[in-house]
Amino acid sequence: MPYVNIYLIEGRTVEQKREMADKITNVVSKVGKVPKELVHILFIDLPKTNISKGGTLQSDK
Amino acid sequence: MPYVNIYLIEGRTVEQKREMADKITNVVSKVGKVPKELVHILFIDLPKTNISKGGTLQSDK
Amino acid sequence: MPYVNIYLIEGRTVEQKREMADKITNVVSKVGKVPKELVHILFIDLPKTNISKGGTLQSDK
Amino acid sequence: MPYVNIYLIEGRTVEQKREMADKITNVVSKVGKVPKELVHILFIDLPKTNISKGGTLQSDK
Amino acid sequence: MPYVNIYLIEGRTVEQKREMADKITNVVSKVGKVPKELVHILFIDLPKTNISKGGTLQSDK
Amino acid sequence: MPYVNIYLIEGRTVEQKREMADKITNVVSKVGKVPKELVHILFIDLPKTNISKGGTLQSDK
């Protein structure tokens, strides 16, 4: 605790995930006043065909 | 807002996702009285080995 | 299967959830070609202080 | 209902998922006093690059 | 890792959650071959008005 | 997209959520190279009785 689930469009690099994980952990730890070790993050990658906004798939835009 | 996450068995086509996204967005928009543009949908595809009902995997049925 | 999770701002009525559940189940059943009985929906209500878009809480708008 | 979502590191075998599904369904059914048939479980597999603890990706450990 | 999210109908007691947490952690640890300390479980309680199966709210059954 | 779900122990203030939302949105926007307006965050508050680590509820620690 806290647990963070991040849904992303496929294609983000490991470097981007590494940087997001590091920085988001710092924010949650500092603002939430919990040790960094307790901050867990999961990235769930999704193809553009699996994301819709306003009724239109991302792959159709 | 609203955000809709739909867990599906792998194998649904893009056409099926497109039609579901369009129609579910219309329902949520009309019934919830929010602009369509604010309705977000994610599809999470899962293999049959990753779904269990009553203690039995879908792949064993 | 399929499983649908819908995150909503607090305050939608039971009538609205009933109508959404009925209509979304019909869409998923018809388009996905699964019996209605297999369509499960969960509504997760969230206060405006717990939703952010573009870095701003809904309660601050 | 109940619905159980389990996020796992990629690489667990179907045998492991089968055994987990069977045993967790039994626990939830007995303790929760619901028929086994109503217990649904989804496994979401994630690569080590998509999991962070304490700000460090599992793939970097 | 692993992370387990359990959606339950409101009304389960703390004793039931304690027993489920203990037993599910044991199952996941033994079958998944991970230390118990790495098994995390979240319970999300939902009212009967927020759960639909086959298009009908639990509160209407 | 991206969508961020954060599970927190109950009791964080609106100020803490506001600051987390602002800073996490900035991180995701900059590292992920997406406009801030596309970053959505949901906070799900959970009581200590609903969180288990290593088989023990947070409320029992």
Among candidate residues D53, D16, D57, A11, the one with its CA nearest the CA of residue D43: D16
The CATH homologous superfamily of the domain defined by F3-50: Macrophage Migration Inhibitory Factor (3.30.429.10)
CB nearest to E57's CB, from C18, C26, C39: C18
| pLDDT value, residue A1 | 78
**pLDDT 10s digits, D15-55:** 999 999 999 999 999 999 999 999 999 999 999 999 999 99
Residue B24 phi/psi, 5° resolution? Answer: -65, -40
CB nearest to F18's CB, from C46, C53, C60: C60
- How high is the mean pLDDT in each 10-residue block of chain C (61 residues)? 95 98 98 98 98 98 91
pLDDT at D1 over 80: no
Residue ranges for chain B with pLDDT beneath 50: none
Asked if B20 contacts C27 with a C-beta cutoff of 8 angstroms, the reply is yes
Q: Which residues of B are less than 8 Å from D42 in CB distance?
A: 7, 46, 50-52
Among candidate residues C2, F60, C60, C19, the one with its CA nearest the CA of residue B17: C2
| pLDDT value, residue E1 | 78
pLDDT at E34 over 90: yes
**pLDDT 10s digits, F36-59:** 999 999 999 999 999 999 999 999
CB contact C42 to D (< 8 Å): yes
**pLDDT 10s digits, A4-59:** 999 999 999 999 999 999 999 999 999 999 999 999 999 999 999 999 999 999 99
pLDDT tier at F1, thresholds 50, 70, 90: confident
The residues, ordered by sequence, that sit 6+ positions from F4 with a Cβ below 8 Å of its Cβ are: A4, A5, A6, A7, F24, F28, F39, F40, F41, F42
Q: Do the strands A51-53 and A56-57 form a parallel or antiparallel pair, or are they unpaired?
A: antiparallel
Q: Do A54 and B39 touch (CB under 8 A)?
A: yes
Q: Does domain B3-49 have CATH number 3.40.50.300?
A: no
**pLDDT 10s digits, E18-33:** 999 999 999 999 999 9
Q: F17 to each of A39, C50, C61, how far by Cα in Å? A: 15, 7, 15
**pLDDT 10s digits, F6-34:** 999 999 999 999 999 999 999 999 999 99
How far is it, in rounded angstroms, from Cα B8 to Cα F57?
31
- pTM over 0.90? The answer is yes
Distance from CA of B49 to the nearest CA of F (A): 26
Map residue A33 onto helix, strand or coil.
coil
Q: E57 to each of A55, C12, C19, D2, E11, how far by Cα in Å? A: 25, 14, 10, 14, 17
Distance from CA of D4 to the nearest CA of E (A): 5
CB contact D21 to B (< 8 Å): yes
pLDDT tier at E47, thresholds 50, 70, 90: very high
Q: Please report the ipTM that was assigned to this predicted complex.
A: 0.97
Q: Do F21 and C55 touch (CB under 8 A)?
A: yes
